[in-house]
Amino acid sequence: MSTATLYGLCSAVLVGLGLFGLIVHPQPLRKILAFNLIGGGVFLLFGVVACRGAGMGFGGDPVPHALVITGLVVAFAATALAVALLLRLFEQTGQATLRSDR
């Protein structure tokens, strides 16, 4: 097994783990954390694809690298917006829960 494959399998497990946390955790902040965990796994998959595409004197295919950089920044923006929404919910209701019956 090559190094790239090893990290590829790692990314597969990370996506599954993150998805599990996203479904199972009741607290929204934990869901946001889990979502970022999935993000890490998906970006890693891009990294593996890039690593396999090395050539022309580059250590990896620069196009997926650029995509991941863009993705990381956008993921941060989404996380910040989600956190702000959550804190506002908490301020408004005194609770941070997604249940609708309270």
Partner 1 sequence: MAFDTGLVLLVLGVAVWTIVARDTFAAVVGFVAYGLLLALVWVRLAAPDVALTEAAIGSGVTGVLLLGASTRLRRTETSGAGEKPGITLRLAAGMLCALVSAGVAAIVLKFPEPAPTLAPHTAANIAATGLGNPVTAVLMAYRAIDTLLETVVLLLALVGIWSLAPDRVWGGFPGARHHADPEGVLTFIAQLLVPMGILVGIHIFWIGSVAPGGEFQGATILAAMWILAMMAGLVDAPSVSRRWLRLLLVAGPTVFLAIGLAGFAMAGAFLAYPAPYAKLLIVTIEVPVTLSIAATLALLVAGPAERAPQR
Please list every residue from 40 through 69 that binds partner 1, using CB under 8 A: 40, 43-45, 47-63, 65-69
What is the C-alpha separation between 102 and 92, in angstroms, rounded?
Answer: 13
* C-alpha closest to that of 41 among 69, 7, 65: 7
Instruction: Determine, following the binding rule CB under 8 A, whether residue 23 of this chain makes contact with partner 1.
Output: yes
Measured in residues, the chain has a length of: 102
**Cβ 43 to partner 1, closest distance in Å?**
8
**Cβ 35 to partner 1, closest distance in Å?**
11
Instruction: Determine, following the binding rule CB under 8 A, whether residue 29 of this chain makes contact with partner 1.
Output: yes
Instruction: Determine, following the binding rule CB under 8 A, whether residue 35 of this chain makes contact with partner 1.
Output: no
**Cβ 12 to partner 1, closest distance in Å?**
4
**Cβ 101 to partner 1, closest distance in Å?**
11
Instruction: Determine, following the binding rule CB under 8 A, whether residue 31 of this chain makes contact with partner 1.
Output: no
